[in-house]
Structure 1
Amino acid sequence: MTTYPKFGAGLWHFATYVDRYAVDGYGDPRTTLDMIELAGKVGDLSYVDLPYPFTPGVGVDEIKQALAAHGLEAVGITPEIYLRDHVKGAFTNPDAGARSRAMDIMHASAEVVRELGATYVKLWPGQDGFDYPFQVNHRQQWKRSVDGLRELAGAHPDLKFVIEYKPREPRVKMLWDSAATTLLGIQETGLDNIGVLMDFGHSLFGGESPAAAAQLLIDHGKLWAMDVNDNLRGWDDDLVVGTVHMTEIFEFFYTLKINGWEGVWQLDQFPFREDSVDAARTAIRFLKALYRALESLDMAALAEAQERHDAMAAQRLIQDALLSSMTSAELKR
């Protein structure tokens, strides 16, 4: 039997959703405990990333009990610094009170990381940015964001913080929008407990090569976590991983493998109309096949093809590995 990496998922994978058309939602609301129960039904999940605050009435003790009951552990805590109170930003909000409230949520999330024994606080500052030219003072925005990040991580030197970058949405232009920009901001803090959670779909959506972005982050020692999903490149669709960009996700994981990167293979998917447990199982089915393809890939021959910049030789090797893994008897288990 193949020994696979550990798989995880953002707990929001098991939520129900609304959008600007189905404003009444795609299902009845679920509590944090409901979502943990669904995550436990997948069978191959070991970790979840939990949004914080939890749903009303749910405390850390209840979360501990639910995780244990379903064979799960917390890998990260994601403070919700992108909701109504933060529509003009968390770190960069022009209202000092709103900035302070956002910091309170992030500090509280750090305490939850300690209590649950999680690996990191994940920061997704989705509202930090702008929508129109001339709307903001760009120097002030950048300074507030870097200073706020330094203040937060500096107050918890025993913990890891990861930033998840994205080019846009909900803001038309997000401040932490690429691997390179995020690296620069981290370097400016002068702290060594801040890294990056790279979302494969955000990288695609932002026009990056996910494999090249991953290599850049690895070379700077800052790729500390990752999420995988898929999209049609025009938007952050959060589709099931491998359903669109199979070759590029393979190159992404190949890059992790040749660099000896080890960590949780984590899903960040939004199955609006699909069954969330089935979507997770389908994603992990693909990731297992991809893992086997990496094991069978002729690395030496691929390195030789890359040395010659021989695209067709490289593609034949990739196709052989991927297609054989997808027809493996083990895939049917």
Structure 2
Amino acid sequence: MLKLAIITGFLSQTKDRFHEYNTPLSVDEKFRMLSEIPGYNGVEIVYPYEVNDVQATRESLKKYDLRVAAVNVNVKAEPEFRNGGLTSPDPAIREKAVRLIKESKDFAAEIGADKVTCCPLGDGYEFAFQYDYAASWKNLIDTFSEAGDYRRDIPLFIEYKPSETRGRCFIDTAAKALCLLNDMKIEEMGVTLDFGHSMYGNENPAEAVALLQASPYRYYIHINDNDGRWDWDYFCGTKHFIDYVEFLYYLKKYDYTDFFTSDTSPTRWDIRGTFEANSRMTQKIWNLFEAVDTNELEKLMGAGDYLETWKFVESNFLGLK
């Protein structure tokens, strides 16, 4: 069975610009709900706004027999981070952002997590001549280096995203995330690859997996789907089914064994049903690779006649016998 987790904020009330969805729940109530959804035993929890009490968090994890896929540290919600935290021209603001990441590593160690993930959504720009790009890149190197070097036993993973909350995020592709890690040269770091971020950022998520696999850094996976124009966080396979199959194919090929964490927002749909769909779809596709002749698939890919490869896809992945 795959290791499946949920970002627990999506198990409670969420909101967009116009509506609120579902009802607020405590951390303990969210953990209980997750434990009742088939296929899941992992949580990704947000520090410090969702969780910050070590003892209470440990007790809830033990009560529901849950593992921590990652601690997600939020460095965008504070008022002073509106114009960027890790890249702010103000050293005091950058210092606060780094301190939050360090604190999240301490928290992760206390509750038994093996990683911290950070998506620096406040760090980016909207307009020409708004920022000095070289200075901002240097600030990213300096701040993430300080945070990554602290407690190397808890690796820091950087999640990239094309946009939000900024019109364009500084770290917006897998390649740029790797450029940053290569500039930092800290082995105990990694990249969080979100299928939807990759898709609407005009990447091929499967190719991004191959790129990360070829690097010296670890990677961690978020699963969802969208329409390629915005990060809607739909459930898996609803918009890009074949792309998702290829994505999972490469993860299986490279023996990915970490959590598949649902970064999916139920909004108008039943919470349990939405996450059951993610689990069901992902596990069925993963199992399918055991039943099909992937050696034959690789031969067809190597032969270069895509019409023949597509016949294989039709019959084996689409069930069109």
TM-score class, shorter-chain normalisation, is over 0.9
Amino acid at match of 2:224: N
SS at match of 2:164: coil
Give a deviation string over 1:16-47, Cα, whole Å, max 9, x none.
1122122xx22333332232222112131111
Confirm whether residue 11 of structure 1 aligns to residue 8 of structure 2.
yes
Residue 316 of structure 1 and its aligned partner are, at CA, apart by: 2.4
Match of 1:83 among 77, 80, 87: 77
Q: Evaluate the alpha carbon distance shift between residue 55 and residue 181 of structure 1 in structure 2; reply closer, same or farther with a 3 A threshold.
A: closer
Equivalence for 1:219: 214
Q: Report if the CA contact (8 A) 1:179-1:213 is conserved.
A: yes
| Equivalent-residue separation in structure 2 for 1:198 and 1:36 (angstroms) | 24
Q: Report if the CA contact (8 A) 2:187-2:217 is conserved.
A: no
Q: Give the length in aligned residue pairs.
A: 320
What does 1:122-137 correspond to in 2, within 5 Å? 122-137=117-132
Confirm whether residue 32 of structure 1 aligns to residue 32 of structure 2.
no
Give a deviation string over 1:38-61, Cα, whole Å, max 9, x none.
2112131111110011448x6111
Equivalence for 2:274: 279
Equivalence for 1:158: 153
Q: Report if the CA contact (8 A) 1:298-1:317 is conserved.
A: no
Match of 1:51 among 40, 46, 50: 46
Equivalence for 2:101: 106
Residue 222 of structure 1 and its aligned partner are, at CA, apart by: 2.4
Superposed CA RMSD in Å reads: 1.8
Equivalence for 2:193: 198
Amino acid at match of 2:16: D
SS at match of 1:142: helix
Amino acid at match of 1:77: V
Residue 315 of structure 1 and its aligned partner are, at CA, apart by: 2.2
Residue 322 of structure 1 and its aligned partner are, at CA, apart by: 2.6
SS at match of 2:14: coil
Amino acid at match of 2:188: N
Give a deviation string over 1:90-148, Cα, whole Å, max 9, x none.
20123333222222211110011101111201011011111111111101110001110
Match of 1:20 among 13, 17, 21: 17
| Equivalent-residue separation in structure 1 for 2:39 and 2:58 (angstroms) | 19
Residue 323 of structure 1 and its aligned partner are, at CA, apart by: 4.0
Instruction: Give the fraction of aligned pairs with identical amino acids, expressed as a percent.
Output: 25
| Equivalent-residue separation in structure 1 for 2:99 and 2:63 (angstroms) | 30
Confirm whether residue 255 of structure 1 aligns to residue 259 of structure 2.
no
Q: Report if the CA contact (8 A) 1:294-1:321 is conserved.
A: no
More moved, 77-86 vs 108-117: 77-86
Confirm whether residue 302 of structure 1 aligns to residue 303 of structure 2.
no
| Equivalent-residue separation in structure 2 for 1:65 and 1:141 (angstroms) | 41
What does 1:64-75 correspond to in 2, within 5 Å? 64-75=58-69
Amino acid at match of 1:128: D
TM-score, structure 1 as length reference: 0.91
| Equivalent-residue separation in structure 1 for 2:155 and 2:312 (angstroms) | 38
Amino acid at match of 1:13: F
| Equivalent-residue separation in structure 1 for 2:304 and 2:17 (angstroms) | 46
Q: Report if the CA contact (8 A) 1:166-1:176 is conserved.
A: yes
Confirm whether residue 233 of structure 1 aligns to residue 244 of structure 2.
no
Equivalence for 1:329: none
Amino acid at match of 2:75: I
Amino acid at match of 1:103: V
More moved, 193-202 vs 33-42: 33-42
For structure 2, the 5+ residue unaligned runs are none
Give a deviation string over 1:134-175, Cα, whole Å, max 9, x none.
111101110001110101111222221111111111110001
For structure 1, the 5+ residue unaligned runs are 327-333
SS at match of 1:317: helix
